[in-house]
Structure 1
């Protein structure tokens, strides 16, 4: 019996050996083929435009922030459901009076240039943006509520706040809360926007303006090596071209999807279209620092002149809704104050009362490819304004150029410009304060109203939620009446993804999150 058992054992081993030697590479004994079967792949993302700057504290556009979310990590971030979760911080505590937040940091984390991550790196990053002389875009985002950043120990940092601020953690979870390598900041100065170094899962490898940005997986990422080899952003302003790239496989992800292509793409069994809510609205900003837009009757007239329902139903195929306030209902503190109805006759009457003669010339500027159907919407608005007697000079621009010429109403001297604002914090404070306070960092209309200034300051410093909501409701009513913008629509996010790609999702603030992407 022992001999028989031995012979059976030997035959079995010979059989397994033969199978091993004759097997396909994917199952050979070396394991190399098995490793090749799961080799990370390259992911290609076609976007309507390209990022403008990759310095998180000096950018204000979502496309740039989509990129910096790959390169950088923050103390805290958001999960798929928009809830605050740890990232570079392991945990945190808030003092009983709400004026100090203390973070305990992860050990052993390094930046992409091998510089150690510690409390000093956090302080250097925030001291930089809190220094008014640096004139960084996100200065007011943090300076309004952060008083001081303290290095408590190598792996503990604390923030002293000027007052208890409810959305403080949410603000730190936004792209602007990204932590730079101190070495990179020292060596590159303002040049960090073109060659960023963070502690995130991807490293910027190449940026060919107008063509592509390539991000390579960071092999030493503290959270584990990414599941794709690289991510390439390609700017593709033409809507139909992005859809074709998705269909042919030239792109794995596209954003945005043009509404007229949604049904066709959804009918392709190799593709998915992600439709999600958004904190972003689309509007036309009027330069209130110059005539005739310094007259509230003119601004109200232009709000009556626009057929917003048709824009939503026809141009966006229903993927959106007419704005009923200065920010969307997905933002905390929302209350409807009602839209200006389409009433061209009332628009003409108000223009006449303001002394605006028929044929008065104005300019209307728009980007092309940045926002969903941006050029088409702007052309429609041009037609509405001409129908009430204005002569409208229409101009369209590539996104990078457009951003550079629409930064300041007095300096750039524009008349009406298309804009879109997404409250990245999901809170009414950041939905309104940058745009409508006299000193707001993104006050593109030059709007100044003492009552609005007072209300928004009160809303920021009030801790009771019901009181805050009442304050923001009052502010929304004043803003509607003063009409510095033509509020058109609240967006939906439409993202196309090939079905062999998983782990792609969006936040309501228009962030396209690709860090967890897997391509099969």
Structure 2
């Protein structure tokens, strides 16, 4: 034991000697372990947090959800709104030293559209081709006007990876990702840590003050906070709402919050696999009864200390895109019982998959208790988050608690989950009428016309209930008082430029 201790101390001393005196390492506490570190394949929110340091995008968003430059410096639509033309930032390189240019953009968009297992395929379904106009000008063509395209490229669909590395590694790219962000990949140990190192060739390196970032997953919010208080972490995401008052009183910590643009909901398997034959999957009346058994305000108070916003759609009731004619339904246990009786199953079993994160587990327990009063027997199956997503992909569930971090254009919360062949359509519902409405909402930039389409979509979705939307959280962060430059964004992601310790 002494030998190992001495060796560890010597190793630490050697490492410290090798690092500059001003070297800074940011230790970041995640609520889950990310899935694949490949923007084309990735699905998890925490993966997007890591990508914020690893992979720049064509464009980004500001805290007030405006589109701002990143790898592209300017853009414009063609006269017929069927092409989006980007001017690219000169002098940008990937982490392997390869040049970022229009050909790289073309490669990445085509990879997103054609790669086996791509999660971006639905987001970019309207894109028909990509033209390299010149080394720093690229034109993305669509068959028809596609209003969400620019906002879509402000997320993983707009992330650029090195074509050379992607071609060399193939389906193993996620094990050693090469992007064009401020930090480059060093190593990953599953369920333990992901280490990134500052990329000296980064186009905006003057605003990057950390030499390394270590992302560490802790699914238990209490354990995450304990690690922050003890100095093992510098910042954490998704602070438990019940811990907000104590963090605000702690002079060694700072607190940040902002309302999300996403949602928490329960996805019901109604057509994804044979498990759709469950009572809740096969009966609309049972799904309606299940929703009526739930008190969204009660869930908010019990799990989020009242800090969240109850909702029944893919955007918050506070959003200008919310369909006000279809408000949040009130709990009605008596009606729920009557519907179960009509359905011929007064005590249906619902197997509910939930990620092991603190909020999701707590929601599951409150849902279980509430639904029981109407006659439901909810059986909770707690599962590691990435594993639960794989189960959702395969349809290996009856009901599934899922949080979606949200996108600035409502289409990003809607199309990929409800269009017939969209990759995130975990419910398996396929309604041709809904497909037409969703397509119509993408064809125009006129907000009134899009709003009319979303209202039609809401009427179909809220009647069939492939997802029972519950609420919209506040993103809650806690971090060391020594950390400066942190800014809250409604997508819940971190922009590391300008942040520093000391």
Provide the TM-score with structure 1 as the length reference: 0.88
Give the aligned partner of residue 472 of structure 1.
454
> 180, 195, 202: which one pairs with 1:199?
180
Q: Which residue of structure 2 aligns with residue 167 of structure 1?
A: 148
Aligned to 1:353: 342
C-alpha displacement at 1:159, in angstroms?
A: 1.1
Match of 1:27? Answer: none
> Structure 1 pair 496/223, CA: closer, same or farther in 2 (3 Å)?
same
**Mapped contact 2:26–2:210 kept (Cα < 8 A):** yes
Partner secondary structure for residue 123 of structure 1: helix
Partner of 2:138: 157
1:323 to 2:304 alignment = no
Measure, in 2, the Cα distance between the counterparts of 1:467 and 1:285: 28
Alignment coverage as a number of residue pairs: 476
CA deviations on 1:191-212 (whole Å, 9 max, x unpaired) are: 1112110111101111010100
Q: CA deviation at 1:165?
A: 2.1
User: Could you tell me how far 1:213 is from its partner in structure 2?
Assistant: 0.5
- The alpha carbon displacement at 1:496 in A equals 0.8
Task: Kindly provide the CA deviation profile for residues 254-281 of structure 1, in whole angstroms up to 9, marking residues without a partner as x.
Answer: 1110011100000011211111010121
Residue 389 of structure 1 corresponds to which residue in structure 2?
Answer: 375
Residue deviations 1:436-459, cap 9 Å, x none?
A: 222222111112223322211111
Mapped partners of 1:486, 1:45: distance in 2? 32
How far off its partner does 1:36 sit? 6.7
- Report the Cα distance in structure 2 between the residues aligned to 1:518 and 1:205, rounded to whole angstroms: 21
- Structure 1 gaps, min length 5: 1-34
Question: For the residues of structure 2 that align with 1:81 and 1:362, how far apart are their CA atoms?
Answer: 40
**Are 2:467 and 1:481 aligned?**
no
Select the structure of larger CA radius of gyration: 1
Per-residue deviation, 1:392: 2.6
When structure 1 is superposed on structure 2, of 335-344 and 293-302 the one drifting more is 335-344
Query: Are residues 1:245 and 2:233 paired?
Result: no
User: Does 2:406 align with 1:423?
Assistant: yes
CA contact (8 A) 1:171 1:177 kept: yes
> 2:267·2:400 contact (CA, 8 Å) conserved in 1?
yes
Q: Does 1:211 align with 2:185?
A: no
Residue 476 of structure 1 deviates from its aligned partner by 1.3
d(CA) in 1 for partners of 2:128, 2:200: 37
SS of 1:127's equivalent? helix
The residue aligned with 2:75 is 92
Aligned with 1:310: secondary structure?
helix
Distance 1:302 1:277 in 2: 27
Q: Does residue 346 of structure 2 align to residue 364 of structure 1?
A: no
1:5-404 alignment, distance < 5 Å? 39-131=22-114, 134-143=116-125, 145-225=126-206, 226-289=208-271, 290-291=276-277, 292=279, 293-329=281-317, 333-336=321-324, 337-358=326-347, 360-369=348-357, 373-404=359-390
Distance across 1 between alignment mates of 2:26 and 2:424: 33
CA deviation map 1:52-89 (0-9, x unaligned): 11111211221111111211122222234332222222
What TM-score does the superposition give when structure 2 sets the normalisation length?
0.91
Q: 1:396 to 1:60 in 2, by over 3 A?
A: same
Aligned to 1:448: 430
**In the alignment, what sits opposite 2:494?**
512
Residue 438 of structure 2 contacts residue 454 of structure 2 at CA under 8 Å; is this kept in 1?
Answer: yes
1:437 corresponds in structure 2 to 419
Q: CA deviation at 1:323?
A: 0.8
- Aligned to 1:273, what secondary structure does the other structure show? strand
Of 392, 412, 423, which aligns to 1:406?
A: 392
CA contact (8 A) 2:35 2:43 kept: no
Pair 1:515–1:175, CA change in 2 (3 A) = farther
What 5-or-longer segments of structure 2 have no aligned partner?
1-18
SS at 1:393 equivalent: strand
CA contact (8 A) 1:47 1:255 kept: yes
Provide the rounded CA distance (Å) in 1 between the counterparts of 2:221 and 2:127.
41
SS in 2 for 1:306: coil
Q: Distance in 2 between matches of 1:512 and 1:107?
A: 24
* C-alpha distance in structure 2 between counterparts of 1:480 and 1:248, whole Å: 46
Aligned residues: CA RMSD:
1.9
* Structure 1 consecutive aligned stretches of length 4 or more whose deviation exceeds 4 Å: 329-332
Q: Deviations over 1:386-435 (max 9, x none)?
A: 222233322101112222212133xx2x11111122332x1222221111
Native 8 Å contact 1:325 1:476 kept in 2: yes
Residue 330 of structure 1: CA displacement?
6.2
Report if the CA contact (8 A) 2:31-2:46 is conserved. Answer: no
Instruction: State the secondary structure of the residue aligned to 2:392.
Output: coil
